[in-house]
Amino acid sequence: MKKLFVGILIVITMSCTHDDEKLVLTRDWSQYQGGPGRNQYSDLTQINVQNVAKLELAWAYETPDFDSSRNTQIQCNPLIIDGVLFGTSPRLWCIALDATTGVELWTFIPPTDHLPNFNVGVNRGLSYWKDEDDERLFYIVGHFLYCLDSRNGKLITSFGDQGKIDIKMGLGPESMKHYVIGTTPGAIYKDKIIIGCSVSEDRIAAPGYIRAYNVRTGDQEWIFHTIPKPDEYGYWTWPPDAYERIGGANNWSGMSIDEENEMVFIPTGSASFDFYGGNRHGKNLFANCVIALDANTGERMWHFQTVHHDLWDRDLPAPPNLMTVKRDNKEILALAQITKSGFVFLFNRLTGEPLFPIEEIPVPGTDLRGESTWSTQPISLKPAPFARQKITENDFADFDPETKNKALETFRKINHDHLFSPPSVTGTLIFPGFDGGGEWGGAAVDLESNIMYINSNEMPWIHSMVDLVPEHEGQLASAGKLLYDQHCAICHKPDMKGDGITYPSIIEKRKIYSRQGLKEYISVGRGKMPSFNFLSESQKDELVAYVFNPEVKTTDFANLKEITEELKDVPYSHTGYNRWVDKNGNPVIKPPWGNLTAINLNSGEHVWQVPLGELDYLSEKGIPPTGTENYGGPVVTKGGLVFIGATKDEKFRAFNKSNGDILWEVELPYGGYATPAVYAVNGKQYVVIACGGGKMGTPSGNVYMAFALPD
């Protein structure tokens, strides 16, 4: 373990002495992000601006499945219901704890856990449903949706196939070969659970249809095709056969429910392949959209597309927030959608009418063969962006002259003039980066003041396309190399060395795996690596042969011809997801590198913005807090506080929601890259966060920590 962690559970003596604060005996956190409106808000006041500095550890729980070699994470925003905390572990076991002591009540180990290479991805939370004496938990592990009895952790075998549903089913005949997993919990509406999924962002991908299942039987009740079929709305925004061959346009980031008006609001990601759309000309509805559906039937009520014909991986990264804003002395049922690019789009959620002006601005055209960029893109004129969207030469950091000069040299060569500068072989600045701006941690909204609190990254990334055809055209090329360039170099780099953090060195992996073992790894996938089972057996053999011996060229002309034919539709790959950092791993630009921003959604004005996170070695040099890259989101309370972990410095903080002052902070045993939860049991208020680490080069962990005031 990175730090000495004493995890002795502290048993809390229950008391109920806060009647003057009108603290109820119990307050649950019964839905993902705190409720169907996903506002990450608690009306509890026992912990407040006057006493938050007294917070201390109430209990800690270490999951039993810790394995630091797997580079695991815990991104779970747990549920707390009737004094029981439900969460997930690094290997996606489901756990139930006494929410006052952290004592384990039960554990569910999914049947897939014994498969060493089963691709489970991450889990951000669970869904809970109750009806009379029936209480059910739903969560997704890999591509299986499990249904558990929340009282004992046992599978409810009357649901689906002996307690589970394969979410690949229903996505098309080829879906079983494709990468499909679930990361964010489904939304419960009446007797339905509505789910999205994560799919590959490469050239070959499953579509991201939205499905609703009956919570009792597991039967599918409706489906919404995010890539429309003939006679469906939006079909004309794609090539005629797109629904048969294009993937993506998926909801991986969760959704919101308006129970009273029987609506579900779904944010979607880009179509696949993320960075080239020469085979998908058009606006591409319903990729990159906020979609309002009738929650009973799945029928479209309205939509808004935030990026047309996306070429920048501008997925909508979090569920929209639902609140009632005040405008001209009127109350309006509203929806606020955060974005990776730093915009907040605000709509009347019943009609889709924008509540602040949105302008279509002209954007640069592409120079990629076969591509056709959309000529305009929508930007929200208010609120002002919560993250920087442009870099000039004056914005580069001065910490190291050599690093700055090298960065300036690169900057002058790449496309950087526009937020929507298109992908190019010469390189394009992506800022905010691929991880935002806003990210999956979501935004918190104070439902009394309608002030939104959102954390953001200020990390520039450089993206470069790779033209595959000139490199191989007219050569007796290696089919294995072509396959590697198409599917593997994106993450593991052309030299097979990876990035040393998220994507491992294949050179090192081939020391561990046999050829057959590596072939199985390619077929199944693991962690962030998707399955490539859509490749034929001979193509997998070619790829493995190239990885083990790059100097040997193939003699299998059938494979070579088949791959070359595929390049006619998508003749480009790319160099991967590359943060633009200095030798210390920090952004090459001047701080702040991470912010926490408060925005009044009634007026659209920013209230305050402060750096989020601090690097001690820079502070010791007299440099003010720089903020850091961050993952996970905030919660806001009626007690005047914003709680957030998220930062690379692995701390958990409480901010004064009125002005952004830090009122309390504690060092966690591992990074808290998850959204906290706030709850009360027996008159005592707690705030809990999963400390799973595993991001930004920090060690993986396995701890849940709950904090409370001393008795």
What structural domains and CATH numbers belong to the chain?
19-463+581-708 (2.140.10.10), 465-575 (1.10.760.10)
How many C-beta neighbours within 10 Å does residue 350 have? 16
pLDDT band, very low/low/confident/very high, at 48 (cuts 50, 70, 90)? very high
pLDDT in tens, 483-504: 888 888 888 888 888 877 677 8
pLDDT band, very low/low/confident/very high, at 553 (cuts 50, 70, 90)? low
Average pLDDT of the residues of the chain: 91
Least confident of 192-201, 341-350, 542-551: 542-551
pLDDT band, very low/low/confident/very high, at 2 (cuts 50, 70, 90)? very low
Contacts 24+ apart (CB under 8 A), 330-339: 333/258, 333/261, 334/601, 335/256, 335/265, 335/290, 336/443, 336/445, 336/452, 336/601, 337/267, 337/290, 337/306, 338/386, 338/437, 338/438, 338/442, 338/443, 338/454, 339/306, 339/314, 339/436, 339/437, 339/438
- Phi, psi torsion values for 456, nearest 5 degrees: -140, 155
pTM over 0.75: yes
- pLDDT at residue 167 is higher than 70: yes
Mean pLDDT score, 145-157:
98
Rounded to whole angstroms, what are the CA distances from 461 to 32, 201, 396, 589? 30, 18, 14, 11
Mean pLDDT score, 250-260:
98
Mean pLDDT score, 499-516:
80
- Determine the pLDDT at residue 494: 83
Least confident of 279-283, 304-308, 468-472, 649-653: 468-472
- pLDDT at residue 334 is higher than 90: yes
- pLDDT at residue 572 is higher than 60: yes
- pLDDT at residue 14 is higher than 50: no
- Determine the pLDDT at residue 474: 46
Contact 306, 288 (CB under 8 A): yes
Both tokens of 637, joined, read 């309370």
Mean pLDDT score, 294-309:
98
Instruction: Give the separation between CA 423 and CA 415, rounded to whole angstroms.
Output: 8
